[in-house]
Amino acid sequence: MRVFKVGPDFLDPMILEQASGAEVLSLDLWMVGATECQRLLFEAAAEADLILVEGAMGLFDGEPSAADLALRFDLPSVALMDARGMGQTFGALALGLATRRPGLQLAGVVANRVGSDRHREMLSAGLPEGLALLAGLPRLDDAALPSRHLGLVQAAEIADLERRLDAAADALAGTALASLLLEVAFQGPRTQPEAPALLGGHRIAIAQDAAFSFLYPENLRLLEALGAELAFFSPLADSGVQADAVYLPGGYPELHLAALAANRAMHAALRSHLAAGRPVYAECGGMLYLLERLTDQSGHSADLLGLLPGQAQMQPRVAGLGMQALWLEDGEIRGHSFHHSRMITTVKPTAHGVRQHGARPGEPFYALGPLRASYLHLYFPSNPAAAARLFLP
């Protein structure tokens, strides 16, 4: 079994990986690209009998949407709908989903938060002809997943995650959804040239712990294909780092302010690394760690690395969201922005992201000697040469 996630996401794939027991990759026709999506699906079909693709938001939300992906690759879809407080309107909404886009294969619907057996019967009876109620799920408090400001709580932080997943699986057992198998044929992709060894002989240290965990597996795979040796370290727990370049991905530094501030040995190690002219590349939460000071939503502040002049304050609402492209020396590289902080710095950006939609300037990109930083989470395979240059002096 292989599971994919539509659109840019880090948190949902952590849960899906725990549930499926396999790596979960992103599918997005804009960020990942149709050709790469085709390759990923084709490779998954060669090793798995069952492929599931979790959508993003609603079926038609976003550009491109989950429906766009389904139409592109002839994927049958199942709509999960909140049925609480609804009767015949449930069927009307299902009809709209089934008929909005010609060619979309809606294989059925799943009703969530069903109140009773009678409620389930009413929902089923109200569906249009040819559209089946594949499952009617009651409210499952035992299976609910906790969330915070960026989405779901990370899988590693949910102590009873297996129990919650088992509760969801038990509720689905015996339903028509549990036995739904629909055949799909995926065409093989065009042969890709091998990635040049632009990072041959380079050791890249990547922060990975509870504070920094927003990593695309595809990014790590590409760095290795470019010849890099990858090593992982914890800014929370480790006292040093030895590498040719450092990668500080996004995450939740605001939830670990005290520990990050207290690890002065790591501060010194990263300052020495940068002073020696070795690159540091930081994304979103990783960039916040570089600042002089960070303040969380409760008003608690901490002094951090001070490698990037400035400070940031967590906000109660989303401060940046959406797909963006960044034009660097080696061309366009794509990614996305999603953060709840506002940053003030005296450093002038060397570039700005270009929004997929809208004319406003996107996220600033900072280059201060061998330090490169932005709120953007970049998808490295969209431009391997540009990705490699982030880690070169």
Q: Identify the band that residue 186 occupies on the pLDDT scale cut at 50, 70 and 90.
A: confident
Domain ranges in the chain are: 2-179, 203-389
Amino acid 350: pLDDT: 97
Pairwise CA distance, residues 245 & 205, whole Å: 6
Give this prediction's pTM: 0.93
Token digits of residue 239? 């006292």
191: pLDDT strictly greater than 80 = no
Amino acid 338: pLDDT: 95
Q: Tell me the per-residue pLDDT of 322-334, one tens digit each, with 9 for 90 and over.
A: 999 999 999 999 9
Residue appearing with tokens 């019967």? 121
Pairwise CA distance, residues 381 & 141, whole Å: 39
**Among the listed ranges 87-101, 150-164, 176-190, 339-353, which one has the minimum average pLDDT value?**
176-190
Q: Tell me the per-residue pLDDT of 48-83, one tens digit each, with 9 for 90 and over.
A: 999 999 999 899 999 999 999 999 999 999 999 999
Report the side by side order of strands in the sheet with 203-207.
229-233, 203-207, 245-248, 280-283, 371-374, 361-368, 351-355, 320-328, 331-339, 377-378
Catalytic residues: 284
Amino acid 296: pLDDT: 95
For residues 372-389, average pLDDT: 97
**Mean per-residue pLDDT over the chain, rounded:** 94
Amino acid 252: pLDDT: 95
Token digits of residue 372? 């490169």
98: pLDDT strictly greater than 80 = yes
148: pLDDT strictly greater than 90 = no
> Do 253 and 294 contact (CB within 8 A), yes or no?
yes
203-389 adopts what CATH topology? Answer: Rossmann fold (3.40.50)
Amino acid 185: pLDDT: 87
2-179 adopts what CATH topology? Answer: Rossmann fold (3.40.50)
Amino acid identity at 338:
F
351: pLDDT strictly greater than 90 = yes
Pairwise CA distance, residues 331 & 389, whole Å: 11
Token digits of residue 153? 């709580």
Pairwise CA distance, residues 15 & 317, whole Å: 24
Pairwise CA distance, residues 312 & 293, whole Å: 7
Pairwise CA distance, residues 239 & 265, whole Å: 5
Helix (H) or strand (E) segment spanning residue 82: strand 77-82
Question: Do 2-179 and 203-389 fold alike per CATH?
Answer: yes
Pairwise CA distance, residues 44 & 343, whole Å: 40
